[in-house]
Amino acid sequence: MGYLFFLILLIPFMALSAYASSKVNSTYSAFDKVPNASHMTGYDTARRLLMRNGITDISVNRIAGKLTDHYHPTKKQVNLSASTYGSASVAAVAVAAHEIGHVMQKKTGYIPYKIRAFLVPVANLGSKLALPLVLVGILLDIFLFASEGAPYGQWLMYAGIAAYGLSTLFMLVTLPVEYDASARGKKMLVEEGILTKQELPGAKKVLSAAALTYVASLLISLVYFLRFFLIVMSFARRRD
């Protein structure tokens, strides 16, 4: 893949990523100004949904930042950002319910969630090692090709591509996990009377905007994976 073609592919997805980031912030801010009829905060929502589903070993904590909300399964914590924890807005309860959606995925053994949980440490390591392995492999391959040595460089490059591929696979599996958590959250909000059917469209807009950021990240990762793959294949063909 030529560098110009790479940029032609990458720039639209980078623009989509910037748009998604702006969209999730603006949508959250808009619906954070809309109080929900039940007057429940993000914290209230998380605690209520946990208790109604018989989950008593998960703590709900407040953390710094905006939209830094996440579920930490190992520590058994639902961490809500300062903008979500104490707010009784449509946006806040939507985000809180989404995180409880992840808790329910773990409880029910949702397969994509289990796959993503398995890939977390591998993907984190792979994303850190991928580029160094590819670069070292290229340099080693050039040196060994000149000295007619064994193709150890190619093996390192292939390892780098595989490592980056794992991180891309993680992003791919993340999509159904995030969409499913949002679907579970919206359903629980209505069933528990935390949001009315009239308020639900606002919650959907907040969660849909957040999901778009994952789509953009996956597309960017796929473009980089394709570029790395073609670079490595090009070196391999030259050696052969």
Q: Look at residue 145 and tell me whether its pLDDT is greater than 80.
A: no
**Percent of the chain predicted with pLDDT > 90:** 60
**Do the domain assignments include residue 110?**
yes
**Do the domain assignments include residue 65?**
no
Q: Look at residue 126 and tell me whether its pLDDT is greater than 90.
A: no
Q: Look at residue 239 and tell me whether its pLDDT is greater than 60.
A: no
Average pLDDT of span 2-11: 73
Q: What does the pLDDT read at residue 4?
A: 72
Per the model's pLDDT, the better-predicted residue between 34 and 5 turns out to be 34
**Which two structure tokens, joined as six digits, stand for 48?**
């209520």
Cβ atoms of residues 228 and 134 within 8 Å: yes
CA dist., res. 32 & res. 18, Å (int): 21
Is 191 an active-site residue? no
**Do the domain assignments include residue 9?**
yes
Q: What does the pLDDT read at residue 147?
A: 46
**Do the domain assignments include residue 139?**
yes
Q: Look at residue 156 and tell me whether its pLDDT is greater than 50.
A: yes
DSSP one-letter string for the chain: --HHHHHHHHHHHHHHHHHHHHHHHHHHHHHTTSB-TT---HHHHHHHHHHHTT--S-EEEEESSSS--EEETTTTEEEEEHHHHT--BHHHHHHHHHHHHHHHHHHHT-HHHHHHHHHHHHHHHHHHHHHHHHHHHHHHHHHHHHTT---HHHHHHHHHHHHHHHHHHHHHHHHHHHHHHHHHHHHHHHHTTSS-TTTHHHHHHHHHHHHHHHHHHHHHHHHHHHHHHHHHHHHHHHH-
**Do the domain assignments include residue 82?**
no
If pLDDT is split at 50, 70 and 90, which confidence band does 171 have? confident
Average pLDDT of span 198-219: 94
CA dist., res. 102 & res. 106, Å (int): 6
Q: Look at residue 107 and tell me whether its pLDDT is greater than 80.
A: yes
CA dist., res. 145 & res. 208, Å (int): 51
CA dist., res. 207 & res. 90, Å (int): 11
**Do the domain assignments include residue 62?**
no
Total domains present in the chain: 1
**Do the domain assignments include residue 124?**
yes
Q: Which residues constitute the domain of residue 7? A: 3-34+98-239
Smallest CA-to-CA distance from 79 within 101, 96, 92, 104 is with 96
Give me the catalytic one of 99, 148, 178, 199.
99
Most confident of the ranges 19-23, 116-120, 219-223, 235-239: 19-23
Q: What does the pLDDT read at residue 146?
A: 47
**Percent of the chain predicted with pLDDT > 70:** 81
**Do the domain assignments include residue 170?**
yes
Q: What does the pLDDT read at residue 164?
A: 76
